[in-house]
Structure 1
């Protein structure tokens, strides 16, 4: 199979780099400065076992490839705010040997944070796979992706979306696609369990990703103040998922799945960096994925009548930081906690008043 990595940033670059290093056929899709850097100098992939430069085909869209191959796997690794544009671009791309399009024939694998992209994809693509991405990777410089996980680079639970593995709905003859992809990933320094309930793992990861906006606004979570704020934000998320009846893997189950398979091993003297949202601000992209992380909790809260003032606050602040291109981590955590206390106060008053009346 040939892997077309749509979005060769931190996650896409790390997956593409490891697949290429294991001898698999890989095409990178990028734009702007990243496209130019990958085209001119290759993908510089930094890991605890050294830096590897992969000179891979790089395109900015399907037209540069001509017709897609019948054995292509599309890996969507852009941030969710860019998914619509990517799906619109790749869905109608022709596949060689017939009259069908990529949306009709090829598997699309969503290797992204949150849960929204696979919903968007299923409106266009017949065969959509979700991935729960546990992959410590960094992309802050064009052409350079770092992945500090060892001994495994990452753990990627994969399953058919909305449920199952392959061919369970009887709509195609693709039995084994997920397992073939998983086998290729496992030959490339990943663990890739094939699961029939991938969203259960993704919602568990989403609860952890609620910290991304805190890191983006106030820096890496190291202080007791910041960690306590995250606990409050996560508690909102757990309450919302309970009200919505959405199952997610427990922290114990996640710890058992990870074990000591992924350890952060800095290879350049650096400390562990902040997450993907911080990286977006640091690169000055003007966008951030908060609408699909904290915003997912806000949406579910509004649908099910659960107040989410802290996630609303973080969604709003993160978007403002991105829009105004403010420095990542520049708001003191004490100031952020004060804003959180002010946001939560009216909700606490209403809840107390209801308890008094009952």
Structure 2
């Protein structure tokens, strides 16, 4: 079985590197300077305890496929449709992405779709180099068939393959329940990107999550509890410093830092906004975070450029308008 990692950035590159180290055939799909570095020098994987250069095959676009290929999609959610467009629809697709909308989008075209809940703190300090900060494992990955994954042989095989080197793979029948829990955690990404780590940011994030929990519960959508997450996670993927690498913010912070012009907020905070609209519930906190994160990305503002007081005032104004 060959794993084709579409979007071999921080998360996808780490998954591909660990599968390769475990003895599996891997092809990394990347673009731009990152692809050029991978093709020229190989992938440099740096962890808290080691550094290794891996000569993993890389391409910057579609390649001829085989019947035993598995696509691991690790792009941002806003790039899902375009990233998968060139690939054959008879291949299985694993959505190793934040948010909960990708699996349904992919299922419109691909029959065999798998969700993956990703706990894997990593970044790209420079093209061709990935710093994976977790220890003793680089990540924990829950995998399951979408929409239902009971007794799925491929999910179990993927989880076993992931677990061979540096990762913890878990085949689960309720992968979306874990992904909704991860979604709650990711609601703070926009606040971090807009504000940076300033006093008062945690209060904004908790308001967003409390609002979201109310919406999910009203909609009857189950999610794993913090207690369940803590029990499963333990200390298997604790983030640690890496000598010579300054750890930046999360994925949304990195999007603003790169000036990419897009951000994932529509599929994180925007998921709560969508559910709120469907169920007639106000979501002023998440709507403000969604709008302002998109504006910052569109205007290519640097991370941490919005004052806390400004964001709080915008949230309060939207809350007041919704209550009238």
TM-score tier after normalising by the smaller chain length: over 0.9
- From 252, 265, 290, the equivalent of 2:240 is 265
Decide whether the 8 Å contact of 2:45 with 2:129 is kept in 1.
yes
Asked if 1:61 is matched to 2:40, the reply is: no
Report what 1:248 is aligned to.
223
Of structures 1 and 2, the larger Rg is shown by 1
Asked if 1:344 is matched to 2:304, the reply is: no
Report what 2:104 is aligned to.
119
Name the CA distance, whole Å, in 2 between partners of 1:17 and 1:332.
39
Report what 2:156 is aligned to.
179
- From 95, 108, 115, the equivalent of 1:130 is 115
Decide whether the 8 Å contact of 1:139 with 1:279 is kept in 2.
no
Decide whether the 8 Å contact of 1:80 with 1:289 is kept in 2.
yes
Report what 1:275 is aligned to.
250
Report what 1:96 is aligned to.
none
Instruction: Report the CA distance between 1:247 and its aligned residue.
Output: 0.4
Name the CA distance, whole Å, in 2 between partners of 1:331 and 1:40.
39
Report what 1:353 is aligned to.
none
The equivalences for 1:132-211 within 5 A come to 132-166=117-151, 175-211=152-188
Report what 2:69 is aligned to.
72
Query: Which whole-Å deviations, capped at 9, do the CAs of 1:315-338 have from their partners, x for residues lacking one?
Result: 111111111111111212233223
Query: Which whole-Å deviations, capped at 9, do the CAs of 1:144-189 have from their partners, x for residues lacking one?
Result: 21111001111101100011245xxxxxxxx511111111100021
Instruction: Report the CA distance between 1:230 and its aligned residue.
Output: 0.7
| Unmatched tracts of structure 2, length 5 or more | none
The TM-score, its normalising length taken from structure 1, stands at 0.87
Name the CA distance, whole Å, in 1 between partners of 2:125 and 2:106.
27
Aligned residue for 1:129, secondary structure, equals strand
Q: Flag the 1:87–1:270 CA change in 2: closer, same or farther, 3 A.
A: closer
Name the CA distance, whole Å, in 2 between partners of 1:270 and 1:143.
14
Aligned residue for 2:113, secondary structure, equals strand
- From 189, 205, 209, the equivalent of 1:230 is 205
- From 83, 88, 91, the equivalent of 2:85 is 88
Query: Which whole-Å deviations, capped at 9, do the CAs of 1:249-298 have from their partners, x for residues lacking one?
Result: 01111111111111111112656531101111111111111000001000
Name the CA distance, whole Å, in 2 between partners of 1:258 and 1:273.
22
Report what 1:169 is aligned to.
none
| Unmatched tracts of structure 1, length 5 or more | 92-102, 167-174, 351-358
Decide whether the 8 Å contact of 1:264 with 1:272 is kept in 2.
no
Query: Which whole-Å deviations, capped at 9, do the CAs of 1:91-120 have from their partners, x for residues lacking one?
Result: 3xxxxxxxxxxx12x211100000111111
- Pairwise CA RMSD of aligned residues? 1.5
Asked if 1:315 is matched to 2:290, the reply is: yes
**Which runs of 4 or more aligned residues in structure 1 lie more than 4 Å from their structure 2 counterparts after TM superposition?**
269-272
Q: Flag the 1:271–1:341 CA change in 2: closer, same or farther, 3 A.
A: farther
Corresponding residue pairs, total:
324
Query: Which whole-Å deviations, capped at 9, do the CAs of 1:25-78 have from their partners, x for residues lacking one?
Result: 11000112221121122111111122211121111222xx32x12211110000
Name the CA distance, whole Å, in 2 between partners of 1:271 and 1:234.
28
Report what 1:17 is aligned to.
17
Name the CA distance, whole Å, in 2 between partners of 1:51 and 1:280.
25
Q: Flag the 1:165–1:31 CA change in 2: closer, same or farther, 3 A.
A: farther
The TM-score, its normalising length taken from structure 2, stands at 0.96
Name the CA distance, whole Å, in 2 between partners of 1:128 and 1:18.
22
Report what 1:95 is aligned to.
none
